[in-house]
Amino acid sequence: MFDEQESAQSAFTPREIVSELDRYIIGQDEAKRAVAIALRNRWRRQRVPEDLRDEIAPKNIIMIGPTGVGKTEIARRLARLAQAPFLKVEASKYTEVGYVGRDVESMVRDLVEISFRLVREEETQRVRIKAQELAEERLLDLLLPPGRSFEDRAEAQAGSLSTTLDGEHEDEPASAQRTREKFRQMLREAKLDERRVELDLTDRGGFFPMMQVFSTSGVEEMNMNLQDMLGNLFPKRTKRRRVSVPEALELLTAEEAQKLIDNERVTREALHRAEQSGIIIIDEIDKVAGREAGKGPDVSREGVQRDLLPIVEGSTVATKYGMVNTQHILFIASGAFSVAKPSDLIPELQGRFPIRVELGSLGRDDFVRILTEPRNSLIKQYVALMATEGIELVFEDAALQRVADIAAEVNSRTENIGARRLHTVMEKLLEDLSFRAPELGSQRVVIDEAEVVRALADIVEDLDLSRYIL
Ligand SMILES: Nc1ncnc2c1ncn2[C@@H]1O[C@H](COP(=O)(O)OP(=O)(O)OP(=O)(O)O)[C@@H](O)[C@H]1O
Ligand SMILES: [Mg+2]
């Protein structure tokens, strides 16, 4: 059933991973290389003979760098590539066990949940064709005039045995079958799409919003089984709905797929994947650094670090799907460490992140590239947004150079917030256009250097102003 599982794991080479990251993140080569190697090592480990495999622990990584230089962005893009259960969390979200808030172990539970969904999705894909066939049959039952479907016929026969041998009824199965095939044909040619049918759908959705409230209020363990318990406790509500034929086909396919999937196997595989190839990114790790017993929100910082230790080291965590050993989960921590230093983390934790990579701060030339090169670059975003108003927005090269200049200058004179400065500068530059766009009608708007100077020069000159506005 899961023959493909190992090869389904990211088979990208480090070079491919880096070049994929290059499409979104400018520079920061060292960090890209480190995460690419770590990801590839997961794949390698799966291919090592079993007795040695268990000995190979992942080399956890800490990414260190000032704010706004791409740490989170690298983690995010890596997530898309990993093809493995992948979770990104903020360390600052957690509190020490015993305090109100989320305990650190919940990140493992979340990872398993993600793993479960991932595997179930794969399974759904696998049984899709079969489920579609079954759904089609059920839909035909619904569409065919009463008395024409096999079920009805069977009932009728059971009711009065005497009629079964009547000559008149003998060729009816054949004709019913023909009608059915005709309908099938029409269904497949989308000729029945206008019709509507009534469906009975199981509906337990109503309970889940309530569950969410539980899970964020710190009653984690309780929540684990509550969901299932309540799910079984309350009767399944079925709701009758009138839907179009295509929609019905979709809903029935989903329902049939559910029936075809072996949940126990999915659960086992989900646990296996989370343990063997799971990746957890812990962002803002510096926010829990600091060893001195501080006051206020600081109290549980060191506690959070201590709680992290066993998880990073390898321990067993109870989840609603079963026990999970965290020994082979890869952890990538990242943080700006502007106030706290990596050495402010408790030593045991430092030791468990053997690979450190630094991300450099970004300069003017990086900004020019960041504005234009990434797949999702700011410029592309603004052009697309304005296009919805019928405006063809064009940036001259000199204008972009100037924007980069300004961003770099404001960063150096006030606070260095990295590439995020580009967002504030661009927003200010295009504020007027953004406001007036709907009134302008279809036209081409060119932003040249003069426009950049006009819109921003005054603010940049005035240090106080730029503190507030940019
Ligand atoms: N090197 C880069 N290339 C392309 N875009 C970047 C780069 N660095 C930052 N950005 C952009 O700047 C914004 C902020 O980046 P990101 O969230 O990665 O910062 P960070 O390093 O995690 O900062 P913080 O320490 O404040 O969390 C994002 O929109 C991102 O796309
Ligand atoms: Mg970040």
Arch. (CATH architecture) of 364-464: Orthogonal Bundle (1.10)
What is the tens place of the pLDDT at every residue in 337-394? 888 888 888 888 888 899 999 999 999 999 999 999 999 999 999 999 999 999 999 9
110 lines ligand 1 (CB under 6 A): no
Ligand 1 atom nearest the C-alpha of 73 is 18
pLDDT over 80 at 223, yes or no? no
283 and 75 Cβ atoms separated by less than 8 Å = yes
**What are 201's strand-pairing partners?**
239
Residues 97, 205: Cα–Cα separation, whole Å: 31
Residues near ion ligand 2 (Cβ under 5 Å) = 72
Q: How many A from CA of 193 to the centre of ligand 1?
A: 47
- Helix residue ranges, H only, 47-105: 50-53, 71-82
Q: Which CATH superfamily is domain 5-122+269-358 in?
A: P-loop containing nucleotide triphosphate hydrolases (3.40.50.300)
- What's this model's pTM, rounded to 2 decimal places? 0.74
Average the pLDDT over 70-74 and give the result: 91
Residue with CA nearest ligand 1 atom 5: 25
Containing 184, the helix (H) or strand (E) segment is: helix 172-188
**Residue extent(s) of CATH 1.10.8.60 domains in the chain:** 364-464
pLDDT of residue 4: 43
DSSP string, 180-248: HHHHHHHHHTTTTTT-EEEEEEEE-GGGHHHHHHHHHTT-HHHHHHHHHHHHHHSPPEEEEEEEEHHHH
Q: What mean pLDDT is reported for the chain?
A: 83
Of the listed ranges 74-83, 252-261, 314-323, 360-369, the one predicted with least confidence: 74-83
Q: How many A from CA of 375 to the centre of ligand 1?
A: 14
Q: How many A from CA of 32 to the centre of ligand 1?
A: 14
Q: Can you read off the two tokens belonging to residue 359? A: 């991300």
What is the tens place of the pLDDT at every residue in 432-464? 999 999 999 899 999 999 999 999 887 777 777
Q: Whole-angstrom distance between the N-terminal and C-terminal Cα of the chain? A: 55
Containing 203, the helix (H) or strand (E) segment is: strand 196-203
279 and 332 Cβ atoms separated by less than 8 Å = yes
**Residue extent(s) of CATH 3.40.50.300 domains in the chain:** 5-122+269-358
pLDDT of residue 342: 84
E runs forming strands in 249-379:
279-283, 316-319, 322-325, 330-335, 355-358
CB-side neighbour CA atoms (13 Å) of 258 = 8
Residues 36, 21: Cα–Cα separation, whole Å: 9
Q: How many A from CA of 132 to the centre of ligand 2?
A: 43
- Residue 79 amino acid letter: A
